[in-house]
Amino acid sequence: MMQDTTSARRPPVARSTGLGVMLAKLVLVATLVLKVLLWPLLKVLNWIFPADPDRDGIQGNKAARVFGNTIRSMIGEHPFGSSGYTTVVRELSEASNTPPLLLVYLHSPLHPQANALVRKLFSPSCVEFLQQNNTTLRCFGASLATADGVHAASVLQVTHYPSLLLMTCRKSGRSVKMEIALRLEGADVLGHLTASQLQLYLETVHRRHLHVTEQEQFRQLQREEEARLRREQDAEFQETLAADQRREAEQREALELERLERERVESEKRQAQEMKERTLDEARTLVAVAVEPAPGTTDTARLRLTLPTGARIDRRFQSTDKVETVRAFLILHFHEQDIGISNFELSSNFPRRTFRDSSQTLQEAGLVPQAVIMIQDLDA
Protein backbone atom coordinates (compact mmCIF):
# COMPACT_ATOMS: atom_id res chain seq x y z
CA MET A 1 0.00 0.00 0.00
CA MET A 2 2.85 2.41 0.85
CA GLN A 3 4.57 1.78 -2.45
CA ASP A 4 1.40 2.48 -4.34
CA THR A 5 0.87 5.75 -2.50
CA THR A 6 4.44 6.91 -3.17
CA SER A 7 4.30 6.01 -6.80
CA ALA A 8 1.01 7.80 -7.08
CA ARG A 9 2.46 11.06 -5.67
CA ARG A 10 5.64 11.26 -7.83
CA PRO A 11 4.12 12.93 -10.91
CA PRO A 12 3.08 16.12 -8.99
CA VAL A 13 6.68 16.48 -7.63
CA ALA A 14 8.07 16.24 -11.14
CA ARG A 15 5.59 18.81 -12.37
CA SER A 16 6.52 21.13 -9.48
CA THR A 17 10.24 20.83 -10.26
CA GLY A 18 9.70 21.56 -13.92
CA LEU A 19 7.61 24.60 -13.07
CA GLY A 20 10.40 25.98 -10.81
CA VAL A 21 12.97 25.59 -13.55
CA MET A 22 10.71 27.39 -15.98
CA LEU A 23 10.15 30.23 -13.51
CA ALA A 24 13.91 30.56 -12.92
CA LYS A 25 14.53 30.74 -16.64
CA LEU A 26 11.78 33.33 -17.04
CA VAL A 27 13.33 35.46 -14.26
CA LEU A 28 16.76 35.18 -15.87
CA VAL A 29 15.40 36.15 -19.27
CA ALA A 30 13.47 39.05 -17.76
CA THR A 31 16.61 40.24 -15.97
CA LEU A 32 18.63 40.15 -19.17
CA VAL A 33 15.89 41.96 -21.06
CA LEU A 34 15.73 44.67 -18.39
CA LYS A 35 19.50 45.08 -18.45
CA VAL A 36 19.49 45.45 -22.21
CA LEU A 37 16.60 47.90 -22.13
CA LEU A 38 17.98 49.98 -19.24
CA TRP A 39 21.60 50.07 -20.46
CA PRO A 40 21.06 53.05 -22.85
CA LEU A 41 19.16 54.88 -20.11
CA LEU A 42 22.06 54.40 -17.66
CA LYS A 43 24.50 55.71 -20.24
CA VAL A 44 22.36 58.80 -20.83
CA LEU A 45 22.04 59.43 -17.09
CA ASN A 46 25.82 59.09 -16.61
CA TRP A 47 26.36 61.55 -19.44
CA ILE A 48 23.85 64.06 -18.04
CA PHE A 49 24.99 63.62 -14.43
CA PRO A 50 28.73 62.85 -14.57
CA ALA A 51 30.50 61.50 -11.50
CA ASP A 52 32.11 64.13 -9.29
CA PRO A 53 35.80 63.32 -8.61
CA ASP A 54 35.55 65.11 -5.24
CA ARG A 55 32.42 63.21 -4.22
CA ASP A 56 34.25 61.09 -1.65
CA GLY A 57 35.92 64.13 -0.15
CA ILE A 58 32.66 66.10 0.03
CA GLN A 59 30.77 63.22 1.63
CA GLY A 60 33.67 62.64 4.03
CA ASN A 61 33.68 66.29 5.11
CA LYS A 62 29.94 66.16 5.70
CA ALA A 63 30.30 62.94 7.70
CA ALA A 64 33.10 64.52 9.75
CA ARG A 65 30.90 67.49 10.64
CA VAL A 66 28.06 65.18 11.67
CA PHE A 67 30.49 63.14 13.77
CA GLY A 68 31.79 66.32 15.39
CA ASN A 69 28.27 67.32 16.39
CA THR A 70 27.72 63.86 17.86
CA ILE A 71 30.92 64.03 19.93
CA ARG A 72 30.08 67.58 21.01
CA SER A 73 26.79 66.33 22.41
CA MET A 74 28.77 63.85 24.55
CA ILE A 75 31.77 65.84 25.84
CA GLY A 76 31.29 69.42 24.66
CA GLU A 77 34.51 70.79 23.15
CA HIS A 78 36.40 68.17 21.15
CA PRO A 79 39.63 68.04 19.11
CA PHE A 80 38.22 66.50 15.91
CA GLY A 81 38.19 68.55 12.74
CA SER A 82 35.56 68.93 10.05
CA SER A 83 37.51 67.24 7.23
CA GLY A 84 36.94 63.73 5.96
CA TYR A 85 39.64 61.09 5.81
CA THR A 86 40.41 61.68 2.12
CA THR A 87 40.74 65.43 2.72
CA VAL A 88 42.94 64.91 5.78
CA VAL A 89 45.34 62.64 3.89
CA ARG A 90 45.51 65.09 0.98
CA GLU A 91 46.24 68.01 3.31
CA LEU A 92 48.97 66.01 5.05
CA SER A 93 50.59 65.22 1.69
CA GLU A 94 50.45 68.92 0.73
CA ALA A 95 52.04 70.11 3.99
CA SER A 96 55.09 72.28 3.30
CA ASN A 97 56.89 71.18 6.47
CA THR A 98 57.02 67.87 8.32
CA PRO A 99 53.43 66.52 8.56
CA PRO A 100 51.95 66.39 12.08
CA LEU A 101 51.01 63.31 14.05
CA LEU A 102 47.58 61.92 13.24
CA LEU A 103 45.23 60.62 15.94
CA VAL A 104 42.40 58.53 14.46
CA TYR A 105 39.33 57.53 16.46
CA LEU A 106 36.78 55.23 14.79
CA HIS A 107 33.50 55.31 16.68
CA SER A 108 31.04 52.42 16.76
CA PRO A 109 27.61 53.89 17.61
CA LEU A 110 26.05 50.42 17.95
CA HIS A 111 28.48 49.32 20.66
CA PRO A 112 26.91 49.73 24.11
CA GLN A 113 30.14 51.05 25.69
CA ALA A 114 31.21 53.38 22.86
CA ASN A 115 29.72 56.60 24.27
CA ALA A 116 31.05 55.90 27.75
CA LEU A 117 34.54 55.29 26.32
CA VAL A 118 34.44 58.65 24.53
CA ARG A 119 33.60 60.45 27.77
CA LYS A 120 36.26 58.48 29.64
CA LEU A 121 39.19 58.85 27.23
CA PHE A 122 38.65 62.37 25.95
CA SER A 123 38.68 64.14 29.29
CA PRO A 124 38.82 67.97 29.43
CA SER A 125 42.55 67.81 30.16
CA CYS A 126 43.20 65.50 27.20
CA VAL A 127 41.02 67.61 24.90
CA GLU A 128 42.84 70.76 25.99
CA PHE A 129 46.21 69.13 25.25
CA LEU A 130 45.05 68.05 21.80
CA GLN A 131 43.61 71.48 20.98
CA GLN A 132 46.74 73.31 22.12
CA ASN A 133 48.92 71.13 19.88
CA ASN A 134 46.57 70.86 16.91
CA THR A 135 49.28 72.07 14.51
CA THR A 136 51.59 69.16 15.37
CA LEU A 137 48.99 66.59 16.50
CA ARG A 138 45.97 66.41 14.25
CA CYS A 139 42.82 64.52 15.20
CA PHE A 140 40.43 62.71 12.88
CA GLY A 141 37.27 60.96 13.96
CA ALA A 142 34.58 59.10 12.08
CA SER A 143 31.60 56.91 12.75
CA LEU A 144 31.39 53.44 11.28
CA ALA A 145 27.82 54.29 10.34
CA THR A 146 29.23 56.48 7.52
CA ALA A 147 31.06 55.56 4.33
CA ASP A 148 33.99 57.75 5.41
CA GLY A 149 34.44 55.76 8.60
CA VAL A 150 34.24 52.45 6.75
CA HIS A 151 36.77 53.74 4.20
CA ALA A 152 39.21 54.81 6.93
CA ALA A 153 38.80 51.47 8.72
CA SER A 154 39.49 49.62 5.48
CA VAL A 155 42.61 51.64 4.69
CA LEU A 156 43.96 51.32 8.24
CA GLN A 157 42.97 47.63 8.44
CA VAL A 158 40.98 48.03 11.64
CA THR A 159 38.99 44.96 12.68
CA HIS A 160 37.65 45.74 16.18
CA TYR A 161 35.65 48.76 17.27
CA PRO A 162 35.75 51.31 18.71
CA SER A 163 39.43 51.84 17.93
CA LEU A 164 42.09 54.46 18.57
CA LEU A 165 45.23 54.81 16.41
CA LEU A 166 48.16 57.23 16.60
CA MET A 167 50.28 57.51 13.47
CA THR A 168 53.45 59.28 12.47
CA CYS A 169 53.41 60.83 9.01
CA ARG A 170 56.32 61.25 6.65
CA LYS A 171 56.22 62.79 3.20
CA SER A 172 57.26 60.54 0.34
CA GLY A 173 57.26 62.51 -2.89
CA ARG A 174 53.75 63.85 -3.46
CA SER A 175 52.14 61.39 -1.04
CA VAL A 176 52.41 60.79 2.69
CA LYS A 177 53.56 57.59 4.33
CA MET A 178 51.93 56.79 7.68
CA GLU A 179 53.28 54.44 10.32
CA ILE A 180 51.15 53.33 13.26
CA ALA A 181 52.76 54.18 16.61
CA LEU A 182 49.77 53.14 18.74
CA ARG A 183 46.91 50.77 17.90
CA LEU A 184 44.13 50.17 20.43
CA GLU A 185 41.19 48.20 19.04
CA GLY A 186 38.03 47.04 20.72
CA ALA A 187 36.13 48.07 23.82
CA ASP A 188 38.00 45.55 25.97
CA VAL A 189 41.37 47.14 25.19
CA LEU A 190 40.17 50.74 25.40
CA GLY A 191 38.28 49.96 28.60
CA HIS A 192 41.54 49.31 30.46
CA LEU A 193 43.02 52.65 29.33
CA THR A 194 42.48 55.76 31.42
CA ALA A 195 42.44 59.35 30.17
CA SER A 196 45.65 60.14 32.06
CA GLN A 197 47.41 57.14 30.52
CA LEU A 198 46.25 58.14 27.05
CA GLN A 199 47.35 61.73 27.58
CA LEU A 200 50.73 60.62 28.98
CA TYR A 201 51.36 58.41 25.98
CA LEU A 202 50.25 61.15 23.57
CA GLU A 203 52.54 63.66 25.29
CA THR A 204 55.47 61.24 25.13
CA VAL A 205 55.00 60.49 21.44
CA HIS A 206 54.35 64.17 20.77
CA ARG A 207 57.61 65.24 22.45
CA ARG A 208 59.51 62.61 20.50
CA HIS A 209 57.82 63.79 17.32
CA LEU A 210 58.74 67.41 18.06
CA HIS A 211 62.34 66.37 18.69
CA VAL A 212 62.46 64.48 15.40
CA THR A 213 60.79 67.40 13.64
CA GLU A 214 63.31 69.84 15.10
CA GLN A 215 66.15 67.60 13.95
CA GLU A 216 64.65 67.36 10.48
CA GLN A 217 64.13 71.12 10.38
CA PHE A 218 67.71 71.64 11.56
CA ARG A 219 68.97 69.30 8.86
CA GLN A 220 66.76 71.08 6.34
CA LEU A 221 68.14 74.45 7.43
CA GLN A 222 71.63 73.00 7.28
CA ARG A 223 71.00 71.72 3.76
CA GLU A 224 69.56 75.09 2.76
CA GLU A 225 72.56 76.87 4.28
CA GLU A 226 74.94 74.53 2.48
CA ALA A 227 73.02 75.10 -0.74
CA ARG A 228 73.18 78.87 -0.16
CA LEU A 229 76.92 78.68 0.48
CA ARG A 230 77.35 76.59 -2.66
CA ARG A 231 75.36 79.16 -4.64
CA GLU A 232 77.47 81.98 -3.20
CA GLN A 233 80.67 80.07 -3.91
CA ASP A 234 79.47 79.31 -7.41
CA ALA A 235 78.58 82.97 -7.88
CA GLU A 236 82.00 84.05 -6.58
CA PHE A 237 83.68 81.47 -8.79
CA GLN A 238 81.71 82.63 -11.80
CA GLU A 239 82.51 86.25 -10.96
CA THR A 240 86.21 85.44 -10.53
CA LEU A 241 86.16 83.40 -13.72
CA ALA A 242 84.47 86.25 -15.57
CA ALA A 243 87.04 88.72 -14.16
CA ASP A 244 89.90 86.41 -15.21
CA GLN A 245 88.37 86.05 -18.64
CA ARG A 246 88.01 89.83 -18.90
CA ARG A 247 91.65 90.30 -17.86
CA GLU A 248 92.77 87.66 -20.33
CA ALA A 249 90.69 89.32 -23.03
CA GLU A 250 92.16 92.72 -22.11
CA GLN A 251 95.66 91.26 -22.13
CA ARG A 252 95.04 89.64 -25.50
CA GLU A 253 93.63 92.92 -26.77
CA ALA A 254 96.62 94.85 -25.38
CA LEU A 255 99.04 92.36 -26.93
CA GLU A 256 97.16 92.59 -30.21
CA LEU A 257 97.30 96.38 -30.07
CA GLU A 258 101.01 96.22 -29.29
CA ARG A 259 101.54 93.86 -32.19
CA LEU A 260 99.56 96.08 -34.53
CA GLU A 261 101.46 99.13 -33.26
CA ARG A 262 104.79 97.39 -33.81
CA GLU A 263 103.71 96.37 -37.28
CA ARG A 264 102.56 99.92 -37.98
CA VAL A 265 105.81 101.42 -36.71
CA GLU A 266 107.87 98.86 -38.59
CA SER A 267 105.79 99.48 -41.69
CA GLU A 268 106.26 103.23 -41.35
CA LYS A 269 109.97 102.75 -40.76
CA ARG A 270 110.18 100.47 -43.75
CA GLN A 271 108.22 102.90 -45.88
CA ALA A 272 110.32 105.79 -44.62
CA GLN A 273 113.48 103.85 -45.34
CA GLU A 274 112.24 102.94 -48.79
CA MET A 275 111.27 106.54 -49.42
CA LYS A 276 114.66 107.67 -48.14
CA GLU A 277 116.40 105.20 -50.42
CA ARG A 278 114.34 106.38 -53.38
CA THR A 279 115.04 109.99 -52.46
CA LEU A 280 118.77 109.25 -52.17
CA ASP A 281 118.76 107.41 -55.49
CA GLU A 282 116.98 110.30 -57.15
CA ALA A 283 119.36 112.77 -55.49
CA ARG A 284 122.41 110.81 -56.63
CA THR A 285 121.06 110.78 -60.16
CA LEU A 286 120.50 114.54 -60.17
CA VAL A 287 123.83 115.38 -58.52
CA ALA A 288 125.71 113.04 -60.84
CA VAL A 289 124.39 114.99 -63.81
CA ALA A 290 124.89 118.43 -62.23
CA VAL A 291 128.69 118.50 -62.03
CA GLU A 292 130.05 121.50 -60.09
CA PRO A 293 131.46 124.07 -62.55
CA ALA A 294 135.08 125.09 -62.26
CA PRO A 295 135.89 128.44 -60.66
CA GLY A 296 135.57 131.36 -63.09
CA THR A 297 133.04 129.57 -65.28
CA THR A 298 130.34 131.84 -66.64
CA ASP A 299 126.59 131.27 -66.24
CA THR A 300 127.03 129.82 -62.80
CA ALA A 301 125.32 130.37 -59.49
CA ARG A 302 127.55 130.56 -56.48
CA LEU A 303 125.41 129.59 -53.50
CA ARG A 304 126.18 129.77 -49.81
CA LEU A 305 123.96 127.25 -48.02
CA THR A 306 123.53 128.07 -44.33
CA LEU A 307 122.45 125.19 -42.07
CA PRO A 308 120.26 125.64 -38.96
CA THR A 309 123.38 125.08 -36.85
CA GLY A 310 125.09 128.02 -38.52
CA ALA A 311 127.42 125.86 -40.58
CA ARG A 312 127.89 127.02 -44.15
CA ILE A 313 128.38 125.14 -47.39
CA ASP A 314 129.62 126.87 -50.56
CA ARG A 315 128.76 125.25 -53.87
CA ARG A 316 128.67 126.31 -57.51
CA PHE A 317 125.85 125.23 -59.80
CA GLN A 318 125.01 125.85 -63.44
CA SER A 319 122.48 128.61 -63.90
CA THR A 320 120.35 126.11 -65.76
CA ASP A 321 120.31 123.70 -62.83
CA LYS A 322 117.01 123.54 -61.06
CA VAL A 323 116.11 124.13 -57.44
CA GLU A 324 115.59 120.39 -57.06
CA THR A 325 119.27 119.90 -57.88
CA VAL A 326 120.21 122.06 -54.91
CA ARG A 327 117.84 120.05 -52.74
CA ALA A 328 119.37 116.80 -54.07
CA PHE A 329 122.84 118.07 -53.21
CA LEU A 330 121.72 118.87 -49.65
CA ILE A 331 120.02 115.49 -49.24
CA LEU A 332 123.23 113.69 -50.17
CA HIS A 333 125.26 115.99 -47.94
CA PHE A 334 123.00 115.39 -44.94
CA HIS A 335 123.15 111.64 -45.55
CA GLU A 336 126.93 111.53 -45.93
CA GLN A 337 127.55 113.79 -42.95
CA ASP A 338 124.91 112.00 -40.85
CA ILE A 339 122.96 115.19 -40.26
CA GLY A 340 119.44 114.45 -39.10
CA ILE A 341 117.59 116.75 -41.46
CA SER A 342 115.18 115.19 -43.93
CA ASN A 343 112.30 117.65 -44.20
CA PHE A 344 113.60 121.09 -44.99
CA GLU A 345 112.84 124.25 -46.90
CA LEU A 346 115.01 126.71 -48.87
CA SER A 347 114.58 130.44 -48.37
CA SER A 348 116.45 133.73 -48.63
CA ASN A 349 116.36 136.76 -46.36
CA PHE A 350 117.13 139.55 -48.83
CA PRO A 351 114.66 139.58 -50.36
CA ARG A 352 112.49 137.32 -48.19
CA ARG A 353 111.54 134.39 -50.38
CA THR A 354 110.88 130.67 -50.09
CA PHE A 355 111.81 128.38 -52.93
CA ARG A 356 109.06 125.78 -53.06
CA ASP A 357 108.94 125.33 -56.84
CA SER A 358 111.63 122.73 -57.41
CA SER A 359 111.15 122.87 -61.18
CA GLN A 360 112.51 126.43 -61.43
CA THR A 361 116.02 126.93 -62.68
CA LEU A 362 118.41 128.85 -60.52
CA GLN A 363 118.31 131.64 -63.11
CA GLU A 364 114.50 131.79 -62.85
CA ALA A 365 114.66 131.70 -59.06
CA GLY A 366 116.99 134.77 -59.06
CA LEU A 367 119.91 132.93 -57.54
CA VAL A 368 122.41 133.86 -60.26
CA PRO A 369 125.21 134.86 -60.01
CA GLN A 370 125.29 134.34 -56.25
CA ALA A 371 122.96 134.05 -53.29
CA VAL A 372 122.74 133.05 -49.66
CA ILE A 373 120.25 130.24 -49.03
CA MET A 374 118.90 129.56 -45.55
CA ILE A 375 117.97 125.95 -44.79
CA GLN A 376 115.02 125.57 -42.40
CA ASP A 377 114.45 122.22 -40.68
CA LEU A 378 110.67 121.81 -40.75
CA ASP A 379 110.77 118.99 -38.16
CA ALA A 380 112.72 120.99 -35.60
* The pLDDT value given to residue 198: 86
- For residue range 102-131, what is the model confidence (pLDDT) as tens digits? 999 999 888 888 888 889 889 999 999 999
Evaluate whether 102 touches 92 at the Cβ level (below 8 Å). Answer: yes
* The pLDDT value given to residue 233: 93
Final residue before a domain boundary, out of 189, 219, 249: 219
Residue 109: inside a domain:
yes
Residue 343: inside a domain:
yes
Which one has a higher pLDDT value, 3 or 81? 81
- For residue range 138-156, what is the model confidence (pLDDT) as tens digits? 999 999 888 888 999 999 9
The residue type found at 357 is D
Which one has a higher pLDDT value, 137 or 44? 137
* The pLDDT value given to residue 189: 87
Is there a single domain that holds both residue 189 and residue 86? yes
Residue 307 is part of a domain; what is its CATH number? 3.10.20.90
Its domain, for residue 77, covers 55-219
Is there a single domain that holds both residue 96 and residue 205? yes
Is there a single domain that holds both residue 86 and residue 196? yes
Average pLDDT over residues 7-18: 50
* The pLDDT value given to residue 193: 86
Residue 272: inside a domain:
no
Q: Is the pLDDT of residue 370 over 70?
A: yes
User: What is the share, in percent, of the chain residues with pLDDT greater than 70?
Assistant: 92
Is there a single domain that holds both residue 68 and residue 187? yes
- For residue range 156-185, what is the model confidence (pLDDT) as tens digits? 999 888 999 998 888 777 788 888 888 999
pTM over 0.85: no
Q: Is the pLDDT of residue 7 over 80?
A: no
Is there a single domain that holds both residue 177 and residue 65? yes
Average pLDDT over residues 78-100: 85
* The pLDDT value given to residue 134: 87
Is there a single domain that holds both residue 158 and residue 304? no
| Number of domains observed in the structure of the chain | 2
Is there a single domain that holds both residue 207 and residue 321? no
Evaluate whether 359 touches 321 at the Cβ level (below 8 Å). Answer: no
* The pLDDT value given to residue 49: 52
* The pLDDT value given to residue 6: 40
* The pLDDT value given to residue 16: 54
- For residue range 182-237, what is the model confidence (pLDDT) as tens digits? 899 988 888 888 888 888 988 888 898 888 888 888 888 899 999 999 999 999 99
Residue 65 is part of a domain; what is its CATH number? 3.40.30.10
Q: Is the pLDDT of residue 321 over 70?
A: yes
User: What is the share, in percent, of the chain residues with pLDDT greater than 90?
Assistant: 36
Residue 165: inside a domain:
yes
* The pLDDT value given to residue 372: 93
Is there a single domain that holds both residue 173 and residue 64? yes
pLDDT band at 17 (very low <50, low <70, confident <90, very high): low
Residue 130: inside a domain:
yes
Q: Is the pLDDT of residue 66 over 60?
A: yes
Evaluate whether 370 touches 301 at the Cβ level (below 8 Å). Answer: yes
* The pLDDT value given to residue 55: 41
Mean pLDDT of the chain: 85
Strands, sheet with 312-318, edge to edge from the N-terminal-most edge strand: 312-318, 300-306, 370-377, 344-348, 353-355
Is there a single domain that holds both residue 111 and residue 206? yes
Residue 21: inside a domain:
no
Is there a single domain that holds both residue 62 and residue 178? yes
HEC-encoded secondary structure of the chain? CHHHHHHHHHHHHHHHHHHHHHHHHHHHHHHHHHHHHHHHHHHHHHHHCCCCCCHHHHHHHHHHHHHHHHHHHHHCCCCCCCCCHHHHHHHHHCCCCCCCEEEEEEECCCCCCHHHHHHHHCCHHHHHHHHHCCCCEEEEEEECCCHHHHHHHHHHCCCCCCEEEEEEEEEECCEEEEEEEEEEECHHHHHCCCHHHHHHHHHHHHHHHHHHHHHHHHHHHHHHHHHHHHHHHHHHHHHHHHHHHHHHHHHHHHHHHHHHHHHHHHHHHHHHHHHHHHHHHHHHHHHHHCCCCCCCCCCEEEEEEECCCCCEEEEEEECCCEHHHHHHHHHHHHHHCCCCCCCEEEEECCCCEEECCCCCECCCCCCCCEEEEEEEECCC
- For residue range 265-314, what is the model confidence (pLDDT) as tens digits? 999 889 988 988 998 899 899 888 888 898 888 889 999 999 999 999 99
Is there a single domain that holds both residue 86 and residue 181? yes
DSSP β-bridge partners for residue 143:
107
pLDDT band at 257 (very low <50, low <70, confident <90, very high): very high
Final residue before a domain boundary, out of 203, 219, 235: 219
Final residue before a domain boundary, out of 153, 187, 219: 219
Residue 7: inside a domain:
no
pLDDT band at 45 (very low <50, low <70, confident <90, very high): low
pLDDT band at 327 (very low <50, low <70, confident <90, very high): very high
Return the closest-CA partner of residue 348 out of 306, 312, 316, 315.
306
Is there a single domain that holds both residue 204 and residue 325? no
Residues 20, 42: Cα–Cα separation, whole Å: 31
Residue 45: inside a domain:
no
